[in-house]
Amino acid sequence: MFKILYSFISMTKSKSLISKQLLAILLLPALLLSFHSAKAAFDPAWIKVEGKYSKLTGEATKILMQKCKDCHTANTEYPFYSQFPLVKDLLNSDIRKGRAYFNMDNEIFLKRFDTDISASSLNRLKTVLEEGSMPPMQYKMIHWDSNFSKTDKDIVLKWISDLSESDFLPIPSKESLGLNPDKVKLGELLYHDKRLSRDNTLSCASCHDLAKGGTDQSQFSMGINNTQGHINSPTVYNSSYNIKQFWDGRAEDLIAQAHGPVHNPAEMGSNWDEVITKLKDESEYKLLFEKVYGSPEMSGDKMAEAIATFEESLITPGSKFDDYLKGNKMALNKDEKEGFELFKKYNCNNCHNGVAIGANSFQKMGIYKDYFADRAAGENGLNVFAISKEDWGRYNVTKSEADKHVFKVPTLRNVKDTFPYLHDGTVTELAQVVKIMGEYQVGKEIPEDDIEKIVAFLKTL
Ligand code: HEC
Ligand code: HEC
Ligand code: HEC
């Protein structure tokens, strides 16, 4: 019976009053049930959010919970009719897709990421609300109570605009950070010291060369004993703005990160005790440890902290774009300005925004098309490249299906120097990444002319 009903629904795509009333009568029991489960399934802990936006946050999240949770959370009970063949297939595919594209548990409902809602997520929400594209049409037809009313929309948009900072922010001056100069100096020495690796051949700078945009400008880095890595080395410049460290976010912050490469057998293959044995008699280190920590005694924790402090100093203020943001309208030329407008027009700023123009959220690679399937098949001009464990991205950390192929959005600061691009380092030209981002992340084929201008803009960052 539901199969028939469903084909009937699909046929009557019009929003006519008659079909609505008819459907209302037919589906009333199902509706009541789905309404009931929507209320029972969640403890609205989010209403207790403290602070300035608490009331609005409560109202907005409640609306999202009612209208959107079916497809954007992992924790949903479904009404009985969801088990009927056609409805089931439809719902299942929407749920799987919806959750993969935008999991509201992460930052909104359950705060799984333990962070504020990122500008990227706010922007993506704003886009679908303004376009009226969510919930999807077919879903609205079986849950027409799920439609966003004008009041709902106003509340959620007000909430978004209150939470949103300006999309783009200039990088502050180094002085404003107030870092301890001796600690920075100590970190800088360690960062460049090859004795941090077992065979004294590699320093942090070997794979994050400050003269090469903070990267090694090769697809994969070479660890000690010529061990080939499987993921592209990201820039250390502006890494203090990263929401978490590594492409999959497995390190909480720069201090936690700094322990990684020293111990990684495929990178420096050493350990702090070994490093300390090599450095402890050096007078320059002794002096600096004394100055910074009040004693010449070394430890892995202190070294990691000093390195992290040095990395914090690696911000890059004063780009042409920052000049422009600060009000110098002459700082960008005509093409660069148009590129900036196009960057916003194509919604690139949904994910690349904030101080680092990225780095503040995790997003799926391949939203509109399956990047990994295309790459494995060598389609669309991509080099044939089989899927590796590294390609699972954040899934490796959370083990949640929804996080497969989800990566930290890279910063676009200094992007002209950080080639090759993407976590798999498969793309050498900026123009090609822009084309790929268009197809896989924003679902648009960007014309050649527009790509050129966007590239001109990216070079000002
Ligand atoms: C029936 C399932 C379903 C419901 C209900 C639903 N969505 Fe979606 N959502 C999807 C699917 C599927 C996608 C993937 C994109 C597409 O197919 O259009 C998606 C994508 C999204 C995206 C990402 C868009 C992008 O490209 O960045 C956002 C944001 C979003 N939904 C917000 C919402 C909001 C807000 C609601 C509640 C008003 C909602 N969704 C209700 C299924 C759903
Ligand atoms: C053999 C090459 C190699 C060496 C040596 C190395 N790194 Fe890395 N580094 C990488 C690669 C590759 C990644 C990305 C790994 C991943 O995301 O899984 C990375 C990631 C990072 C990140 C995270 C950046 C981001 O955007 O997430 C930071 C910060 C970093 N390294 C700093 C350091 C420091 C500090 C050292 C020295 C203690 C160091 N690296 C030594 C190759 C190296
Ligand atoms: C839905 C989020 C999203 C949108 C929208 C988006 N990007 Fe990205 N961008 C990403 C992610 C995630 C990556 C990393 C993917 C990977 O490494 O596999 C990335 C990588 C990049 C890179 C490579 C940076 C590097 O260092 O490797 C560039 C350049 C870039 N994006 C530009 C753009 C442009 C231009 C647009 C608009 C046409 C855009 N992006 C839209 C999420 C997004």
Q: Whose CA is nearest to atom 14 of ligand 2?
A: 233
**Confidence tier at 433 by pLDDT (50, 70, 90):** very high
pLDDT of res. 78: 61
Q: Which residues contact 85 (CB under 8 A, 6 or more apart)?
A: 2, 3
- For residues 395 and 404, give the distance between their C-alpha atoms in angstroms, rounded to a whole number: 5
Find the 79 Cα to ligand 1 centroid distance in Å. Answer: 19
Residue 169 has pLDDT above 90, yes or no: no
CA 6–ligand 1 middle distance (angstroms): 21
Q: Which pLDDT band holds residue 338 (cuts at 50, 70, 90)?
A: very high
- Name the 3-class secondary structure at 388: coil
pLDDT for 10 equals 42
Please tell me which residue, 342 or 92, carries the higher pLDDT value: 342
Ligand 2: nearest atom to the Cα of 223:
1
Give residue 168's pLDDT.
Answer: 87
- Nearest ligand, CA 410: 3
What value does the mean pLDDT take over residues 16-39? 42
| Residues 229 and 267: beta-carbon distance below 8 Å | yes
**C-beta of 57 in contact with ligand 2 (< 6 A):** no
Pocket test residue of 219, 437, 439, 461 for ligand 3, highest count of atoms within 8 A of CB:
437
Q: From the CA of 206, give the closest atom in ligand 2.
A: 5
Q: Distance from the CA of 206 to the center of ligand 2, in angstroms?
A: 10
Rounded to the nearest integer, the mean pLDDT of the chain is 83
Q: Which of 236, 252, 390, 396 to mutate to test the pocket of ligand 2 (most atoms within 8 A of CB)?
A: 236
Q: Render pLDDT for 366-383 as a digit per residue (tens, 0 to 9).
A: 999 999 999 999 888 888
Give strand pairing partners of 427: 421
CA of 384 to the centre of ligand 2 (A): 26
CA 134 to chain centre: 21
Q: Whose CA is nearest to atom 2 of ligand 1?
A: 71
Which residue is catalytic, options 59, 107, 188, 267? 267
Mean pLDDT along residues 163-179: 82
pLDDT at 290: 96
Q: For atom 3 of ligand 3, which residue has the closest CA?
A: 351
Whose CA is closest to atom 30 on ligand 2? 236
CATH for 175-312 (3.40.640.10, 1.20.1630.10, 3.30.420.40, 1.10.760.10): 1.10.760.10
> Which ligand places an atom closest to the C-alpha of 418?
3
Are 347 and 297 in contact by the 8 Å Cβ rule? The answer is no
- The burial class, CB within 10 Å (0-12 / 13-18 / 19+), for 232 is buried
**Cβ 87 under 6 angstroms from ligand 1:** no
**pLDDT class for 48, splitting at 50, 70, 90?**
very low
List of residues 6+ apart from 236 with CB closer than 8 A: 204, 208, 210, 214, 311, 314
What is the average pLDDT across 20-29? 44
Ligand 3 is surrounded, with C-beta below 6 A, by 343, 346-348, 350-352, 363, 365, 367, 407, 409-410, 412, 415, 418, 421-423, 433-434, 437-438, 441-442, 454
Q: Could you give the CA distance from residue 186 to residue 4 in angstroms, rounded to a whole number?
A: 73
Q: Which residue has the tokens 């978490």?
A: 244
Q: Where in the chain is the domain with CATH 1.10.760.10?
A: 175-312, 320-458
pLDDT for position 114: 58
State the pLDDT at residue 12.
40
Supply the pLDDT for residue 54: 55
94 lines ligand 1 (CB under 6 A): yes
Query: Residue 224 above 80 pLDDT?
Result: yes
Note the pLDDT of residue 334. Answer: 97
1, two tokens: 């019976």
Residue, of 143 and 68, whose pLDDT is higher? 68
Question: Confidence class of residue 13 from pLDDT cuts 50, 70 and 90?
Answer: very low
For residue 223, the CA-to-ligand 3 centroid distance in Å is 27
Cα of 70 vs centre of ligand 1, distance in Å, is 10
Q: Does 293 score more than 90 pLDDT?
A: yes
The tokens for 158 are: 């007000």
pLDDT of 81 above 90: no
The pLDDT value recorded for residue 25 is: 43
- Reported residue count of the chain is 461
CATH class of 320-458: mainly alpha
Any catalytic annotation for residue 267?
A: yes
Helix (H) or strand (E) holding 444, with range, is: none
Which has the minimum average pLDDT: 35-49, 190-204, 252-266, 379-393? Answer: 35-49
Indicate the pTM of the whole model: 0.71
Residue whose Cα lies nearest atom 22 of ligand 2: it is 246
* CA-nearest residue, atom 18 of ligand 2: 246
Helix (H, G, I), strand (E, B) or coil at 379: coil
For residue 71, what pLDDT band results from cuts at 50, 70 and 90? Answer: confident
pLDDT of residue 19: 46
Tell me the average pLDDT across 413-440.
96
Q: Is 415 in the pocket of ligand 1 (CB under 6 A)?
A: no
Nearest CA to ligand 1 atom 9: 98
**Highest-pLDDT range among 39-48, 220-229, 412-421:** 412-421
Which protein residue's CA is at the shortest distance from atom 32 of ligand 3? 434
**What angle in degrees, to the nearest 10, is found between the helix axes of 254-263 and 300-312?**
120
DSSP assignment, residue 311?
H
Nearest CA to ligand 3 atom 26: 421
Query: 70: Cβ below 6 Å to ligand 1?
Result: yes
Q: Above pLDDT 90, what percent of the chain?
A: 54
- Of 394, 419, 420, 395, which Cα lies nearest the Cα of 409? 394
Q: Give the model's pLDDT for residue 79.
A: 60
User: How far is ligand 2, taken at its centre, from the CA of residue 390, in Å?
Assistant: 14
* CA of 434, nearest ligand number: 3
- Quickly state the pLDDT bin for 350 (edges 50, 70, 90): confident
pLDDT for position 77: 62
Which residues, other chains included, contact 270 with Cβ-Cβ below 8 Å and sequence gap of 6+? 196, 197, 198, 262, 263
Average pLDDT, integer, range 403-412:
95
Token couple for 93: 């595919």
**Ligand 2 atom closest to 202 (CA):** 5
Give the Å distance between the CA of 425 and the centre of ligand 1: 30
Mean pLDDT computed over 229-235: 95
pLDDT > 70: what percent of the chain? 82
Residue with tokens 């966007």: 454
